[in-house]
Every structure is written in C-alpha cells, then in structure tokens.
Amino acid sequence: MKEYPPEKIRNVGIIGSGTSGKTSFSEAILFKSGSISRQGNILDGNTASDYDLEEIRRGISIHSTLLPFEWKDHKVNMIDTPGYIDFVGDGISTIRVVDSLVIVIDAVAGHGAALENLWKIADKYNLPRIVVINKMDKSQANFDETLEKLRKKFSREIVPVQVPIGSGDSFSGVHSLLKPNLPDELKDSASKYKEMLIEGIAEIDDTILTEYLENKEITEQELTEHLIAALDADKIFPVFCVSSTKNIGIEEVLDAVANWMPPANEHEIEAKNDKGEEIKIKPDAKDPFSAYVFKTVSEPHIGNLTYIRVGSGTIKPSSAVYNASKRKDERIGQIISMRGKTKIDLPLLSAGDIAVIPKLKITGTGDTLCDKHRIIIFEPAKFPEPVMSFAVKPKSKADQEKMGLGLGHFTSEDPTFKMTYNPETKESVISGMGDVHLEVILKRLKERYGIEIEIGEPRIPYKETILGKSQAQGKYKKQTGGRGQYGDTWIEIERLPRGQGFEFVNKVVGGAIPRNYIPSVEKGIKEAMTGGIIAGYPVVDLKVTLFDGSYHEVDSSDMAFKIAGSMGFKKAFQEAKPVLLEPIVEITVSVPPEFVGEVTGDLNKRRGRIANIEADKVVANVPQGEISKYATDLRSFTHGKGTFSTKFSHYEQVPPQTQKKLVDIYAKQKAEGEGQH
C-alpha cells in the first residue's frame, strides 16, 4: 500500500446493530475495491472482518476490525465495529478516532438498540454520517418504512440521496436523486424523496430550495457541493440503499466515502500540553509526532498489537517515542496495518493515518505517544461502567496467580472490562457489559492461558451492627496441670451513628487489668468483629468500653485476654439487638419514554425508592442484592434499549425476613463445619 497525504486519507467507522449485515457490507466494500479476491460468508467463518474463533462460533462480531483499502486515489481506513451491545466499548473507541461514520441498517429489522447509544456519542463528536439501508434484496425489505422510522427516531435530517429500483427479489439497482431528472417509472415514488433532499440541503443554503420551488434546473454538481457542505456541518445524513450479498449499490457508497467524507487533516484535535493547558493539534505531517492509542489486543503467534491514530507528524520503523500518559520512553519497531488478520507492512506513517504498532512494552488503550520535545496528551475516550459481575476462582489453586495475570491482561486491552478484589467478601470479581462479554473473556482465558474458572454471583457485602446497648463478661480460664490461662473482662457495647466505624474505650481503674493486657483485649474484639457474629459479616458502627475485669499473676497472658475480650464481645453483641445492614446503590436507568412506567414498576418490586423520573430517565435507590441480574432483565423488557449505571449510596437495615434467611444460612454452614459464605 503506497503512502498517502492526509488530504487523501479517509477514516471511516462502520456501525449498526448486530443484524444489520455490517460484516457482509464491509466484505462487499473490500471486494469491490479489489482488496480481496472473493467475498467471504460470516456463516462459513471466512470473512476478513470476523476471523476470531469466538466470532465464528457465535456468528457475531466481537472486536472492531481495521480494514484499509484504496479507492480512486484515496486510502480509506475502514473500521468495522461489533453491533452487539455487550461489545459497545469497541464502537466507542472507533468513534473516538474516525472522521466520519457509515451507519448500516437492516431493511427488514430496522436499526436495533445498540445504535441508539452510538448515535448519541457520534452527536457529541459532531461526526458526519451516511446511512446505508442494507439487505434491500430480502423479501420483506421496505425502504419507505425503514427510512421513516429512522427519521422519527434519530433525526429529520436523515434524507435519501438515491431510491431503490425494485425491492426484494426485484431489487436491481439504485437511482441518484442528485441527478436533475427522475426516470418516468420512478417519478411518483421518488418525488417526495427529492423534496426531502432539497429541504435537507437548504439547511446550509436556502437558495437551492428557492430554485427548486421555482422549477429552475439544479445541476448535479451544484446539489452535490451543497450536500457535502451540509454533511460536513452535521446538518444532513444522506441515505443509500444496497444489497451487500448481491453487490448492488456498493460502488455508489464507495464514491461517497472518497468524495464526500472529510479528509484526515480537516479538523484540529483537542489535547493538553505538558502544563495541562488545552491546545489544538493540527494534523500536519511536518509537525512533531503525536498519536492516540485506541485499541490494544494480543494476537496468538503475533503478540501485542497497538492500534493508533496519528495526530501529527510522521514516524518510521525503529523510532524512539515517548508515552506521555505513563511518562516513559517507548520504542517503535515495525509499523504495519492490519486487514483483519492480514499484515500489511508500512514504511512510513503520517498525520491522520491509522495503523498498528506490534510489541510495544508499556503502552495501553487510551495512552498518548508523542515526540519527547513536544509532550501532549489526547483526551481518552469515555466508556460506560460495567453492568454485570461474576465472582471467579480458578478450579486449581495453583492457577490463582496465573488467573490474576491473565485477567489483568484483558483489563489493559478492554476498558469496559474490570477485575477487582473485594477484601470484605474475599472474592475476585470480574465485571463487564453483559453475560456474553464475560463469557467471551473467560473462554479466551482458557484458550490463551489454559486456566479453568469457576464463576458465581458475587457475595453482597452485608454488615452487622446493633440497635441497643448491653454489658457482658468474657472470662477465659484454662488449667492444664502446668501453667494455666486466665483472662477476665467486663465490656459494654453501644451503637454509633451510621458510618462511624469502631471506637474502643478503656475505663479500667485500680489495676483490675494490667495496662499491658488492654491492647490484647482490643485485638480480640476486632478479630471477632471481622468474622461477624450472627451471620458472618463484618461488624461496624459501635463503641466498646472495657470497664472492669480481673487477672492472675501467674496464669494471665496476652492470649488469655485476647480470647476473653472476644468472648465478652460476642455475648454482649447477641444481647444488643443485632441487625444486618445491606448496601444501597443509586441506580440511573436511561430508556425510551415508552418504558419509563415499566422501569419504575420493576424497581418498586426490587424494594427500590424512586428519587426522580424524567421523560427518558429514572433515578432510584435500590438494595444491591436486588439488582445482581438487572442488566439481563432490563435488556429483556426494554428490547435492548435500556441502559443503566450504579454508584454506592449508603447502608440500611435489611428487612426482618431477609435477616432471618441470612442468619439461618450462616447457622447451617457453621453446623456443617464450613463457617464461610
């Protein structure tokens, strides 16, 4: 692939729902451009885009895939993104680095839920977009209905630039609405679309509308120039119609990408300099080098691959660069592009281009690489927080360390995947965007590292506390023939305000307990609190006062007073109206207006308290234990159109029936000798 200047480079993301046929569309684009010799089929697992074994098994795209090609003296870096909502992170990463989007729509099934979130993100970046209504050869394809639903859902500026000739089995081609005259057989059906197009272009210049209403002839060149200006200003979204499998309408889309979409050097990129000041980086090959890392992945037999968008300057193989995000030097060896899994060597990389750097040592997703003499940092993409979690442990204890290293590697590749250790529940927890997302990662962990994982629902971090006040004696006395053990304590416990933790007060007077044994009493109490008393959960928010006791000059020891303190605490706790506390989270659910009522009703069933309701959003406080599978449930009753986020709010007392259930479970486990949850 030859070298191209920034003005001849187009960076285009392909987005759409999982049923839209993005992979088939991308395959048709590559075939028409001459980049591949034959079109593959996703069911056969031989497409350029979906080459991963898990993608082939499941029949869905899991990764974004770079697919560069050349078309009429332009280089196009096309990035095909997953349409399944679990893998929305790759769509967000792609939107962060491309200059325009091609949105693929299923002519039968419509736009799908995943597109709605990505459209909003594209709005944030003001990305020019063209819309491709795919599968026009299917028997139930309906161009009119699909177009109207898109206009109603997303924007009235979604307007056709062509009309289909036939539909279903009779779909044979397209006719451009930019041409001055319509064929007689299309005049009735296409005249309203021509009017939509003119009105859309008039957003930039209403002289076109005036000429049209006055029946003046408007040339194709004149319409096209105004269309490109409106597209670049994000004022119009042109619609094409294609059949990817029959290769109808593909060439027209290719021409639009090359001739209408903005070049890689058109817009300045926001960044911050070494002082934290906001600056703008011009995509100029003569400026110092800078690049943003939008994707990292480890490929078998290849190693780490780092995908970058060059902000400015040029870079050659065997060059030194600076990782401004990690404040460390990095060395670039080879520079390649990837067409799916096919490597393409590049002798030089210039401003605006997208490429891959193999085997970088420290660089991860979201980092900035730059010239050390001009340190800048590009703002990383913002990703949604994970919505589903599994507790994980290796089937073999010997794999514990390998599991941590393997899963840690995936967190550096995928910003929507997280791994944490909860010291309260003593569990390793992985979190992602849905069950399929997490299943894929665990499958990879097994294939790449040979580690078998057991999964379960994460334990809820309940806590124990008291509502009352009590006193108790803790006395430990043991005689074994030689030196014995003796410790005697009297303690009082009382509640503290929520969130105050633990307070220990020594009020022993007259030497009833020697001062050197007091810390041992406190240590015994703290250890008892950690393991819990009534249900095995940590104890919080209480004050313990040690006010009396006795000792033996020979038999007393630190160990004896530690045990005595623990015994007294456990007795007092049982008599001070013990209760369990549960974590309450604030949940924000975003849904189309028609689902707001269903969301509020569902949250009420989960013991949630509604805090705020808007046209497309519900905010509530709900017990953490009630939403462990909320991602799956919400996706089900909103047909994939609902999203949510949570954050910890506070702790509250659990209902009596919940407390009884948890206490009974703990008692049974203790009786069976487990003593653990």
Q: State the amino acid at position 215 in one-letter form.
A: N
**Do residues 50 and 42 lie in contact, with contact meaning Cβ atoms separated by under 8 Å?**
yes
Judge whether residue 634 has pLDDT over 60. Answer: yes
In percent, how much of the chain has pLDDT > 70?
A: 98
Burial of 379 (0-12, 13-18, 19+ CB in 10 A): middle
Residue 454 neighbours by CB distance under 10 Å: 10
Alpha-carbon torsion 123, 125, 131, 132, what sign?
A: negative
Q: What is the mean pLDDT of residues 96-117?
A: 89
Residue 419 neighbours by CB distance under 10 Å: 18
In percent, how much of the chain has pLDDT > 90?
A: 67
Q: Helix, strand, coil shares of the chain as percentages rounded to 5?
A: 30, 30, 35
With tokens 């949604």, the residue in question is 384
Structure tokens at 35: 């980049």
Q: What is the mean pLDDT of residues 652-666?
A: 93
Q: What is the mean pLDDT of residues 244-251?
A: 95
User: What are the domain boundaries of the chain?
Assistant: 6-260, 269-378, 388-456, 463-576, 581-658
**Do residues 438 and 388 lie in contact, with contact meaning Cβ atoms separated by under 8 Å?**
yes
Burial of 543 (0-12, 13-18, 19+ CB in 10 A): middle
What is the C-alpha to C-alpha distance for residues 222 and 269, in angstroms, rounded to an integer? 31
Q: CA 577, 578, 581: angle at the middle one, nearest 5?
A: 130
The reply to whether domains 388-456 and 463-576 share a CATH topology is no
Please state, in angstroms and as integers, the Cα–Cα distance from residue 178 to each residue in 159, 202, 206, 238, 366, following that order.
12, 14, 16, 11, 41
Q: What is the mean pLDDT of residues 421-427?
A: 87
Q: State the amino acid at position 397 in one-letter form.
A: K
What is the C-alpha to C-alpha distance for residues 130 and 89, in angstroms, rounded to an integer? 22
The β-bridge partners of 378 are 271
Q: Tell me: domain 269-378, CATH 3.40.250.10, correct? A: no
**pLDDT band, residue 675 (cuts 50/70/90):** very low
**Do residues 406 and 451 lie in contact, with contact meaning Cβ atoms separated by under 8 Å?**
yes
**Do residues 552 and 544 lie in contact, with contact meaning Cβ atoms separated by under 8 Å?**
no
DSSP string, 236-259: -EEEEE-BTTTTBSHHHHHHHHHH
The β-bridge partners of 342 are 339
Q: What residues contact residue 4 under an 8 Å CB cut-off, 6+ apart?
A: 74, 75, 350, 353
pLDDT, the chain, mean: 91
Q: What is the mean pLDDT of residues 581-604?
A: 94
Judge whether residue 141 has pLDDT over 80. Answer: yes
**Do residues 49 and 143 lie in contact, with contact meaning Cβ atoms separated by under 8 Å?**
no
**Do residues 416 and 422 lie in contact, with contact meaning Cβ atoms separated by under 8 Å?**
no
Name the DSSP letter for residue 110.
B
Structure tokens at 584: 């309450």
Q: What is the mean pLDDT of residues 286-313?
A: 90
What is the C-alpha to C-alpha distance for residues 375 and 328, in angstroms, rounded to an integer? 11
Burial of 546 (0-12, 13-18, 19+ CB in 10 A): buried
Q: Mean pLDDT highest for which of 5-9, 214-218, 300-304?
A: 5-9
Q: What residues contact residue 677 under an 8 Å CB cut-off, 6+ apart?
A: 425, 459, 536, 665, 666, 669
- Report the range of poorest mean pLDDT among 5-19, 216-230, 365-379, 486-500: 216-230
Classified by CATH at the fold level, domain 388-456 comes out as Alpha-Beta Plaits (3.30.70)
The predicted model scores a pTM of 0.85
Q: What is the mean pLDDT of residues 645-651?
A: 92
- pLDDT tens profile 301-357: 677 899 999 999 999 999 999 999 999 999 999 999 999 888 899 999 999 999 999
The radius of gyration of the chain from alpha carbons, rounded to an integer in Å, stands at 32
Q: What is the mean pLDDT of residues 625-642?
A: 88
**Do residues 310 and 355 lie in contact, with contact meaning Cβ atoms separated by under 8 Å?**
yes
Q: What is the mean pLDDT of residues 546-568?
A: 95
What is the C-alpha to C-alpha distance for residues 265 and 272, in angstroms, rounded to an integer? 19
pLDDT, position 677? 45
**pLDDT band, residue 674 (cuts 50/70/90):** low
The β-bridge partners of 651 are 583
Strands, E assignment, 53-156: 65-70, 75-80, 100-106, 129-134
pLDDT, position 183? 81
With tokens 């008039």, the residue in question is 202
Q: CA 343, 345, 346: angle at the middle one, nearest 5?
A: 135
In the three-class reduction of DSSP (H, G, I as helix; E, B as strand; rest coil), residue 17 is classed as coil
What size, in residues, is the chain?
Answer: 677
Q: Identify the CATH number of the domain defined by range 581-658.
A: 3.30.70.240
Of 387, 390, 386, nearest to 429 by C-alpha is 390
Of 186, 228, 187, nearest to 208 by C-alpha is 228
**Do residues 431 and 386 lie in contact, with contact meaning Cβ atoms separated by under 8 Å?**
yes
Alpha-carbon torsion 189, 192, 196, 199, what sign?
A: positive
Q: Identify the CATH number of the domain defined by range 463-576.
A: 3.30.230.10
In the three-class reduction of DSSP (H, G, I as helix; E, B as strand; rest coil), residue 658 is classed as helix
Sheet holding 502-506, edge to edge: 469-478, 485-495, 542-550, 502-506
Residue 87, CB-side half-sphere exposure with 13 Å CA sphere = 24
Q: What residues contact residue 366 under an 8 Å CB cut-off, 6+ apart?
A: 293, 294, 325, 380, 381, 415
- Out of 3.40.50.300, 1.10.150.530, 3.40.190.10, 3.40.640.10, which CATH number does the structure's domain 6-260 have? 3.40.50.300
DSSP string, 183-235: -GGGHHHHHHHHHHHHHHHTTT-THHHHHHHTT----HHHHHHHHHHHHHTT-
pLDDT, position 300? 67
Element containing residue 559 per DSSP (H, E): helix 558-574
What is the C-alpha to C-alpha distance for residues 457 and 628, in angstroms, rounded to an integer? 8
Structure tokens at 141: 């394809």
Judge whether residue 524 has pLDDT over 90. Answer: yes
